A and B are shown apart, each in its own frame.
Chain A
């Protein structure tokens, strides 16, 4: 491992070593490993174990962001993933990451972070003017204006610039990602006390257990709270539990791994942050990894999130969650301020006040909104010299770039009104707690609906929809002892249900505190902006406005005000917003309900979701047995589905530019037509069909008859879908008594196979037919051209290939270069031609043998372009015509249909819409001027001068810019009336290029109409 320091560019070397807000001792940080970093260009030092947030606070940096809409100054608000304010741009170049939560970034040497959504900088952000316009910029204001000239596109330009937050890079990401598939009996999500207890209970039973923890270490809240277990600091218990878990072979503990989504089939998806805590991933390591956990039982021990209190100007830098303040002093040994006030509606306030003063922070007051507060805890606080103000509230704050004081006043028991004079108290830290909301996110993802529990004034898990149970704070039990008991019970239950003998584990004793329930306080009286959703600048006033305008369902509230739609997905704000709406509606919260949590639990990078299936590996690549030969001989490849096929072959001195490849294509066509050429047709689908009923089966699949086909003969066939439209075409040969060899188009190879399997397995299981795809078994090459027979004769071993011995549509077996070969005398090109199939490993051998045998006749390899031109010249239908919308009759193939049998598609092909005389039919098209090409995709019309909408007669389905054989462009198409209009002219319109070509309707077979060459 390289030492951290060696990573540091000298400019980053510490200029200001001291960390003014760092405590002398304590905290889970490594003071021996100082880590330099920069924020907005200034260099600072933190320690290993810090987050960016704790390191910034240690250095006294409090203003870290500007809010979304009003650009209000904002500070660090939390110590976890719920952070609404402190979003920064992390790293640079291709590794630039906008909107990254400072509170979850593990500090590393050389870390670079920038604030975002401000200009020119945080202190003098010109967009602050928005704050002045805030009276206008209320929720949904943009729906009410910007409708007039110059039009929305004009206004939008500015709105969009102002909206958004971080800036996305357009540079490619240098890091890589991958995916893992895992299975386990019990998956425990969350590594706090409840999760640890669950993993222990299940693990000891021998079940396959995996424990996921999003942060860098186990412990959960225990890392931040000064809890004791069995008389010792709680973290000692965590460490011993961790040791035991590590010792169990059937248990896997994964830190830095967030379960982000709970999907069907009890599958949980997670992202492992493999290298995010490092400056760059080590060699061969990925940055992040996607995990799929296919589980039998799930325990959700995801904890709870503390929520703010809603009072005037509750957003200033220096205001933070009480649990966060405790994290900073206890876990990071950082003072988030020097002079604190604590404001809570629950017992958390006392623990917080005590922890803060223990950390040397002057706690000027503990404000408990509950009338009477909690006397037992009050005694302790006062013993520590902390003044407790019960039945009171913070009704406002002062300061701009940072908090400098708060206004406190007594409030009525129902919390709705101020009952006495306010007084001002100076402080630079205000720790607030409005209670806790269980993290029911994954529970919701699984399809379940959380229910409201007045006891904690929050939503707790409802009836599970999948094999899942929540435990600990996630289930609404907040006392450590309960969390441990609950977790252990959940773990034991999960293993037990799977047949493992799991005994409940004995939970260590906890320190008991005289707990008193919270008293919900949703909105503190007083005037001023009261922020509900800090990230999206949604205020209590906005919620009330939404109510006034009729957006009273929580779903409309959310969408109208954008409450809970930010990167934190309302972790801290939803419940407050919904409660304020409930109050406005005068209905209980359970009646008003809540919005749905959707995956991911916290935002997830695109990278791991794409894994390695990107770039060149977006889809696997399929190569024929002759691929390397093609590459060595100048082939330019083209994608045909997943296959790579030679498009044409360039010769020395030729570039892949139009003039050159046009020459190559023409060369390949003329070479073949005049002499002999060879093309790789291995990609055609090939299906081996055997069984007593094979002929009957083919008879049902194809529209034409198969009973009469003799062994050693091939036949062309057309398949329809049940709806009567053309599905696929190809030749099938009879190679044995009950043995057939079918070919399909390259595009439909897979579809035809499944189609046949469906009929055999579902509709006609009584047929004795066995099929298997042999596409990959056979390398296939088509040898075409007047000289092809000579070439073949020279290559085959002991086979008479004369016209008599091997007539058109004949099939023979032989060997070439010692390899078994099946020779089909069939032709796509319209020339005398043979398709030769050999076992794939011999493909190149035989190809080279034929090339060698053909050398004397000037054999030329040809690609898909030349092949396409020749099939167009011959009027064969292909992809352009078989587009799923054509009938056999449209394509002039109806005559093939047998009237003496039933076959797939027969019953629906006669519907009036499919036999309508107005349907375009297959024809050939030649330019009247004899030189201008009618491109594929042109629309055929009667009169080019008709203004839109122009009546359409059909379209051009395939076209050759030049038929080297005929010396002019030719096209195939479908036109109303079809061959009945032979000789007439129509216009091929290509307005996309301002082209209009007058074309004459002709026979689609342009070449060797009588098929003499085929039969030669």
Chain B
């Protein structure tokens, strides 16, 4: 069971969360004139790294907040959690 530290609810099973995915993807601004290529990149393209990965989870069974998690995709070790806009890069732990 991966254990995620919700900034509001504390350490909880990942089963309480729903996985949203890569947190580094920024949605092109609403009303902006982003190119088709930018939209394609946002919707379809993923770095899919083997190692530290910043990702978004929603605490769906808890406070319903979306949180950002830095997790190693190779070891499943979670080294940092924060709010969606926090930048967690650099907080990668031993596992990476």
Verify A907–B34 contact, CB threshold 8 A.
Answer: yes
Interface string of B1-16 (1 = CB under 8 A from A): 1110000000001100
Interface size on B, residues (CB 8 A): 29
Verify A757–B66 contact, CB threshold 8 A.
Answer: yes
Verify B3–A265 contact, CB threshold 8 A.
Answer: yes
Docked pose: A465 CA to B93 CA in angstroms: 12
Docked pose: A263 CA to B77 CA in angstroms: 11
Interface string of A731-743 (1 = CB under 8 A from B): 0000000000000
Tell me if B45 counts as interface (CB < 8 A to partner A). Answer: no
Tell me if A758 counts as interface (CB < 8 A to partner B). Answer: yes
Verify B75–A465 contact, CB threshold 8 A.
Answer: yes
Verify B3–A761 contact, CB threshold 8 A.
Answer: no
Query: Contacts A757-B66, A762-B84: A722 and B3 contacting too (C-beta < 8 A)?
Result: no
Verify A761–B84 contact, CB threshold 8 A.
Answer: yes
Q: A700: which B residues are within 8 A, CB to CB?
A: 30
B25 CB, min distance to chain A CBs, angstroms: 10
Partner of A907, one of B2, B28, B78: B28
Q: Among residues 688 to 738 in chain A, which have CB atoms less than 8 Å away from a CB atom of chain B?
A: 700, 722-723
Verify B58–A265 contact, CB threshold 8 A.
Answer: no
Verify B2–A764 contact, CB threshold 8 A.
Answer: no
Verify B84–A902 contact, CB threshold 8 A.
Answer: no
Interface string of A756-788 (1 = CB under 8 A from B): 011001111100000000000000000000000
Q: A757: which B residues are within 8 A, CB to CB?
A: 58, 64, 66
Q: B13: which A residues are within 8 A, CB to CB?
A: 265, 294
Partner of B65, one of A263, A761, A908: A761
B75 CB, min distance to chain A CBs, angstroms: 6
Docked pose: A431 CA to B81 CA in angstroms: 56
Query: Contacts A264-B76, A757-B58: A902 and B31 contacting too (C-beta < 8 A)?
Result: yes
Tell me if A447 counts as interface (CB < 8 A to partner B). Answer: yes
Verify B3–A447 contact, CB threshold 8 A.
Answer: no
Tell me if A267 counts as interface (CB < 8 A to partner B). Answer: yes
Q: A96: which B residues are within 8 A, CB to CB?
A: none
Q: A265: which B residues are within 8 A, CB to CB?
A: 1-3, 13-14, 76, 78
Query: Contacts A763-B27, A907-B39: A758 and B66 contacting too (C-beta < 8 A)?
Result: yes
Tell me if B96 counts as interface (CB < 8 A to partner A). Answer: no
A187 CB, min distance to chain B CBs, angstroms: 14
| CB-based nearest B residue for A760 | B66
Q: A447: which B residues are within 8 A, CB to CB?
A: 75-76
Q: Among residues 106 to 145 in chain A, which have CB atoms less than 8 Å away from a CB atom of chain B?
A: none
Tell me if A754 counts as interface (CB < 8 A to partner B). Answer: yes
Q: B1: which A residues are within 8 A, CB to CB?
A: 263-265, 267, 292, 294
Docked pose: A757 CA to B59 CA in angstroms: 11
Partner of A908, one of B2, B43, B60: B43
Interface string of B45-65 (1 = CB under 8 A from A): 000000000001010100011
Interface string of A292-307 (1 = CB under 8 A from B): 1010000000000000
Verify A902–B66 contact, CB threshold 8 A.
Answer: no
Verify A267–B3 contact, CB threshold 8 A.
Answer: yes
Q: B76: which A residues are within 8 A, CB to CB?
A: 264-265, 447
Q: Among residues 581 to 635 in chain A, which have CB atoms less than 8 Å away from a CB atom of chain B?
A: none
Docked pose: A754 CA to B21 CA in angstroms: 14
B12 CB, min distance to chain A CBs, angstroms: 10
Query: Contacts A264-B2, A908-B39: A758 and B58 contacting too (C-beta < 8 A)?
Result: yes
Q: A762: which B residues are within 8 A, CB to CB?
A: 27, 56, 66, 84
Partner of B3, one of A294, A723, A754: A294
A432 CB, min distance to chain B CBs, angstroms: 40
Verify B30–A902 contact, CB threshold 8 A.
Answer: yes
Partner of B58, one of A263, A754, A911: A754
Docked pose: A736 CA to B75 CA in angstroms: 51
Output the residue of B28, B30, B34, B76 with the most chain A CB within 10 A.
B30
| CB-based nearest A residue for B60 | A754
Docked pose: A263 CA to B65 CA in angstroms: 26
| CB-based nearest B residue for A722 | B43
Q: A902: which B residues are within 8 A, CB to CB?
A: 30-31
Q: B14: which A residues are within 8 A, CB to CB?
A: 265
A706 CB, min distance to chain B CBs, angstroms: 15
B29 CB, min distance to chain A CBs, angstroms: 9
Partner of B20, one of A263, A292, A723, A758: A758
Verify A907–B66 contact, CB threshold 8 A.
Answer: no
Q: Among residues 431 to 470 in chain A, which have CB atoms less than 8 Å away from a CB atom of chain B?
A: 447, 465
Q: A764: which B residues are within 8 A, CB to CB?
A: 30
| CB-based nearest A residue for B95 | A465
A270 CB, min distance to chain B CBs, angstroms: 13
| CB-based nearest A residue for B14 | A265
Q: A266: which B residues are within 8 A, CB to CB?
A: 3
Q: B3: which A residues are within 8 A, CB to CB?
A: 264-267, 294
A180 CB, min distance to chain B CBs, angstroms: 14
Q: B84: which A residues are within 8 A, CB to CB?
A: 761-762
Q: B2: which A residues are within 8 A, CB to CB?
A: 264-265
Docked pose: A700 CA to B30 CA in angstroms: 8
Verify B18–A754 contact, CB threshold 8 A.
Answer: yes
A969 CB, min distance to chain B CBs, angstroms: 40
Docked pose: A911 CA to B43 CA in angstroms: 13
| CB-based nearest B residue for A910 | B36
Q: B18: which A residues are within 8 A, CB to CB?
A: 754
| CB-based nearest B residue for A761 | B66
Docked pose: A675 CA to B18 CA in angstroms: 46
Q: B85: which A residues are within 8 A, CB to CB?
A: 765
Q: A264: which B residues are within 8 A, CB to CB?
A: 1-3, 76-77
Q: A754: which B residues are within 8 A, CB to CB?
A: 18, 58, 60
A72 CB, min distance to chain B CBs, angstroms: 43
Docked pose: A263 CA to B1 CA in angstroms: 6
| CB-based nearest B residue for A762 | B84
A32 CB, min distance to chain B CBs, angstroms: 46
Verify B36–A907 contact, CB threshold 8 A.
Answer: yes
B71 CB, min distance to chain A CBs, angstroms: 10
A183 CB, min distance to chain B CBs, angstroms: 10
Q: B58: which A residues are within 8 A, CB to CB?
A: 754, 757-758
Partner of A763, one of B30, B40, B64: B30
Docked pose: A20 CA to B18 CA in angstroms: 63
Output the residue of B1, B2, B34, B66 with the most chain A CB within 10 A.
B1
A298 CB, min distance to chain B CBs, angstroms: 14
Docked pose: A176 CA to B68 CA in angstroms: 40
Docked pose: A758 CA to B76 CA in angstroms: 24
B61 CB, min distance to chain A CBs, angstroms: 12
Docked pose: A266 CA to B27 CA in angstroms: 35
| CB-based nearest A residue for B42 | A722
Q: A294: which B residues are within 8 A, CB to CB?
A: 1, 3, 13
| CB-based nearest B residue for A750 | B60
| CB-based nearest B residue for A265 | B3
A599 CB, min distance to chain B CBs, angstroms: 13
A230 CB, min distance to chain B CBs, angstroms: 42
Q: A908: which B residues are within 8 A, CB to CB?
A: 36, 39-40, 43
Docked pose: A722 CA to B75 CA in angstroms: 32
Q: B66: which A residues are within 8 A, CB to CB?
A: 757-758, 761-762
Docked pose: A266 CA to B66 CA in angstroms: 24
B35 CB, min distance to chain A CBs, angstroms: 9
A725 CB, min distance to chain B CBs, angstroms: 11
Q: A911: which B residues are within 8 A, CB to CB?
A: 36
| CB-based nearest B residue for A763 | B27
Q: B65: which A residues are within 8 A, CB to CB?
A: 761
Q: B39: which A residues are within 8 A, CB to CB?
A: 722, 907-908
Write 23 A-B pairs (CB below 8 A) sorted by A numbering. Answer: A264-B1, A264-B2, A265-B3, A265-B76, A267-B3, A292-B1, A294-B1, A294-B3, A465-B75, A700-B30, A723-B43, A754-B58, A754-B60, A757-B64, A758-B58, A762-B66, A763-B27, A765-B85, A902-B30, A907-B28, A908-B40, A908-B43, A911-B36
Q: A264-B3, A765-B85 are in contact. List 7 more A-B contacts (CB 8 A).
A: A264-B76, A292-B1, A294-B1, A294-B13, A722-B42, A757-B64, A908-B40
Closest 9 CB pairs of A and B: A265-B3, A267-B1, A264-B76, A902-B31, A761-B66, A907-B39, A763-B27, A265-B1, A762-B84
